Structure 1
């Protein structure tokens, strides 16, 4: 292969320079599309000792068009370099011999036409007389000394161009220009490639962002759809299974907050209003647990003080880890599980449990007809009482005890057990020793017993209409009475823990008996399947009828539902005061209920019985005529409810326009009045004027609206003017003209910072600025006629306007976004109030038992359900300074209402913390990552 040049040099001295020179010759003027256009050979091997010029080197020299000698004293003395030069001189043309000096000196003497050998040190003497004219040579000594071996350095580039010109057969300037052109072209192509790659990268990023957004949109749609499906399921279950309704509602809000999830939370709160806690979730199936003549066992017991709950179930979550019987203890006050009690197996279909009055002793039935006695404080078994040494041989031993009682002090236990399938016996034992203290045969399977005192046992036998009292220590019946008409055809009887009252389910009736008097006191039709009886509420019983637990008012013959379940209730227990109820169901669900309503509304003091009719139009003040003047009440936070501010010495006519108006300062110390055309300021605590009177501005129909935040000025509205008045002088500080007041409305935020005025179809929102003046911040078109009204949120963030059709227009003050409700609010309802979290508008409607608290979505105006308010209907809903809501009934009943998504979520998380069952989770949330909505599923 023919080469363009052969480089000969000293390998000991000039290898780096030779490498750089070869690289520069290959690179200079090379098109960017080609690897190289000239081929330069550089010998990198040594010739073998004692040999002639290697054959391979000769072939390279024979096929090279130019010889480049990298001259230096070391190269001139090199044997191999000298042989390479000698071969070239003998076989190749001398005019293609090029010299590049790396070290030493070269001098040409034009007089003699040869090198001046007296000064030349870099050439071998064999070149003496070899050149007829001065050969081409370049000086690289400075380049070598500073090691500037790059074409970016001008000196090296010039030297390479000088040597490359004859190799290319072009002038040095043309070659240099070509190199620059190729470099510019390469740079342009590089820039083009970079631009193309950048565009490709941008396009890829845009495509990735679009794909990510589409994925996000798809995921958001999936989460919204799942949330709506979960919310719909919660609404369906609310009336039949409050526990599951709470679970579904919590997951709906967790997967994606929507209007539907908020509605589901509110409905779940209402359906769980009597639930203290769902202690254990149900199994959702019982078929595989059923055997011949048996059902899964679940039982509950409550201490009379209401401090401890005991329960067990065939469906216990730790059954596999701890086989056999294990009773759970739950500290109700501390809301935590205590260590379990591990004992023997319970009878088929479950066994009875009973506490002492303070809960320190628990008696629990075990098979066969035995009783485990437990110290609950130490979670230690005291002993096991055997009702009959041969109980396990009895044919009816499997039927278990029919009644179990523990004395108030926990020192004695009594039970009724089967002797034959049709006969029963009773016994009394000492808890400390296990000794039998008394026994008797006058009991039947329908008999019930209770300790009236430590040494007296009451035995009620409905089958014989007999009520017996046994003196335990004397083993003698000292009082036996016949209760005429007690006969129990079917069903059962139950006693209060002290045996003073008896409840008998007789046919379709539940009857209340005063056992001391031996009289039937009351009855209720449609009686429950079984009853639990509180000791301190003789006219009330707790009953279960199928899947529903209810409170039965025996005197009034009224029934109130406490809660419902998916499966039939199989066990009930009640605290001594009747306020707490425990229930278990066939599928193992354990729930703790309260007979006092506290979720929908907690009673708040209203000592002066302020009525809804005494509220003024804005719902923040109540006025009552007292001693020729007027007392004022304001809505307050906490237990205060309605707080009396004080007295003003004026009788207020708060009727239709142009009636009197009154507003109170935020601290409740002063009131501004507009009465009979005169303006005045009053010290409420002293009931005396606090400054001079003033007269109305030029126009009439002036209405005071509210104190502004500085506490010394008030807002007022005339027919077509909005005023700021100084209460110290009643001078007009600011006035703004508004349109003619036709079909208009005005509202002021609870904090006094914002006022909304609507007239002639336009709504203007004004804010109290730092410059202590009103400034307009939002204008919107609304459909408001003479029947409409305007409402503001507590901080002025949102406005609601109702029109003549009772539809709501909602305006977000910050963004200006508006929404029109798809349906009307309830006719005849009181004014709308925003919830604290701004998620809802709230309104009371109806009266008496039909009164309700209605909710509307504060963003869309869509209806979001309602709560029943009870017999003293909520005639008005009020907002406290902190944004909490109160309802004031027509009869003066004042109640706090918890309204708000986060508040509802906290309530429900306190009620149930179980996760959704896997099947339900997969059904609604497959492929979505949704953690437990209440955090870690631990106790508490």
Structure 2
């Protein structure tokens, strides 16, 4: 740092009105921020806390107002200043204003009152010449300053000060520099100034600290009272919101079948008020709520195609729906001629529409959003309203009216031709078109007490082959009372006496009566439909109930779920091609209905003969834990064989490939963290899944001899743990070289039942059952055998399922008694039990944590799959028992890494639930109209109208 000259205070005398201690001359282009910081530091130096400033300085930006006479204002400032401070820099040397200010000062004041603050560039004094070396000095203007000084001046190096933020009063550099300037300005010594400044600074700091302490005490006292009141108020408000949320969930559950649209709105509002365990459970289980397609007037017919397209015909025409698009139609056709019957071709590419006067239209629906007309025929039968349509697998179309019908050849849909007429009073046709069922009536139309079965062969006339004792079907009153199973051997006939009679017609000449199904309805059963696999029969009652029956064994049918939501007779039923949705339509003409009022089609999520909240079931075998890929787009199901599926949410899950299975009963599989490797078997085998449609084996060496029952891959280290069959010890493998996995060691674990293995999220711990009947924690590392580090005390039963929480501090253990217990394993050598629950009544068979850490899923031998709120590990709270479509003992569970899906795997398949709450809320809002003000006032009378899906 240079030093400035100081020979006492020169210039105008101090004490004149309006005088300035110094005038600061600087370059706006370079030193604007430095000048501001410098001014603040000078004015605050050695200043008592009660004074606004210690020195009065002139700087154009703070002292000048906008004026056309700028130089006159500056000259007045120079005149009234005792010192000139020049901020030296190349920009200042080139500034005409700085040069003019220096010229004025040297003309009217002594050079001894000019102080230099060096901010940039170069300053060099040549002692031999007794002046600045202008060949090297560029921070001062040569012309003005060449003869200003007779001896070497002193200056202060301010090049380090570039912003106001650096002007800290506690910075020793700043104190030193500012004192150099203040000393000549005040006529005091530098040491004295620094001492006084430090002393005042300490006094001010102590005063501020004391004041702050007093204010803090007062503030804390006031805050304590305020916080207490605020907390009490918020607690009361939170409790009110929780109570309202739970009440809305209960209300929604009670009306979810009768008023599904309103139920969805109430559930969304319940979660909006408070995301309670009940609200979360209701959202996850909400897929079981029927979706509603509102008819435009009377619904005449509805049917699914083999490609999943849903056709709904009503008073206003035809609409087509894609399940992936929800209840918003992808095609709408408004016509005056209502379609009275609909049927798809077996391949789902053509749609037949029957209408009044015996007309039949054919549409190409290969692209469901752009149907294309193919042909139209008229005069079917007696030109009456077409009531039943069947498109056979042989390219024929059977059209039925109340009294007669016709068979059309539609193998060329653009040129349909008649093959002949049907016998009188037809009621049903088989999927292959080789069997026709008719009612036997006399010439006056009186029913004779039996149905007749006809055989149809090619273009030959139908011939009767058998009679079936049955009440009348009467398709003019209920057109879907008789139906063949998709594979043909079963015929179901419903009647007004609330009975469904089933016949085995595999041998048409000798039909065999099977078991009768009885329903509790007022006016009988009006519609029946088989699922695509013919294992489930749906019946529609006159009281608006859809009943599901398990007919996988026709000799011993079992009743399933009853779906009660319609307020009118169920007049039509149709299963989706995967069998997981059944569409039920209000009847459009009954004895007790005047035909007025809105009609709906309800879409029910089912699994077999039970209701389900899973959106789909993958046809896999084996209850091995479902294994999601790290990208959540693929899912491997251990079974016979191991299957790999695409589950990226862009459509219906689809099978990609299968991989080798060693055991006849299947094997566990798990993806590596590299996103492209699948491991299975014992010894371990690796598969390259870069192209999941073509798995490529990577491992060389010994053939697989055992299919691992439990398999876990370390999330961080290239390690895997696997356990074979009952009685075998678990093994830990180094999988760094996928072509030759290396066995690192075996664990002290064995048992008669399958037991889980679980790695901690940081990859350092492995949890496994121990031979003593408890759980042992092992420290794992690469190239080293596992080392035991701690044991969880033995509980009431042996452990069966294990899972670490996402943070790795919590381990959940499910045992053979149905108890789940949570443990704090942050100190593996001293695990601490936190909480437990015994909601399951059988052994725990599956455990999984949601990646977010708030949810946990369990599966038990009691067949239940339950969701838990584990935000407080010491008190797990059951969220819901999922409607999976029945009971699933021995099931296992797993969440996708992105937290979007929950998979439950058992011997009947892998069920998938959506657990992404944001996605569920968005879908529920999309599938239901906004709650009305009247509905809001009914369920939320104390809150202003604020619909949740606005």
TM-score (norm 1): 0.50
TM-score (norm 2): 0.49
Bigger CA radius of gyration = 1
